[in-house]
Amino acid sequence: MNNLSLIFKVLSIVFLFSLNVSAKEVNSDFEIWVNDLKKAVQDKNYQQDFIDEVFLNIYYSKEYIEEDKKQFKPQTFAQYYKNAINNRRIRKAKAKINKNNVILNKVESKFQVPKEYIVALWAIETDFGLLKGDFNVINSLANLSFNKRRRELFLNEFFAAIKIVNDNNMSAKKLKGSWAGAIGQCQFLPSTYLKYGYDFDNDGIVDIWRNKSDIFASIANYLKSIGWDNNINWGYEINYNKELAKMSNSKEKYNLKLLLDKYKISKKNNSKFNNREILSKVSLVNQDNKIFVVFNNFDLIKEWNNSTYFALTVGILSDLITN
247, containing H or E segment: helix 242-247
CB atoms within 10 A of CB 31: 13
pLDDT of 47 reads: 95
Read off the pLDDT band of 3 (50, 70, 90). Answer: low
3 vs 264, more confident = 264
Summarize pLDDT for 68-114 with one digit per residue, the tens.
Answer: 777 767 889 999 999 999 999 999 999 999 999 999 999 999 999 99
Band of the pLDDT at 23, cuts 50, 70, 90?
A: very low
| Other Cβ atoms within 10 Å of 20 Cβ, number | 10
The Cα–Cα gap between 313 and 120 comes to 9
**Residue 40 host element (H or E):** helix 3-42
CA 58 to chain centre: 24
Residue 95: its pLDDT value, please? 98
pLDDT tens per residue across span 105-162 = 999 999 999 999 999 999 999 999 999 999 999 999 999 999 888 899 999 999 999 9
- Single pTM value for the model: 0.89
* Per-residue pLDDT reduced to its tens digit, 233-256: 999 999 999 999 999 999 999 999
> Which range, of 22-31, 70-79, 88-97, 306-315, averages the lowest pLDDT?
22-31
| Dist CA 294 CA 267 (whole Å) | 12
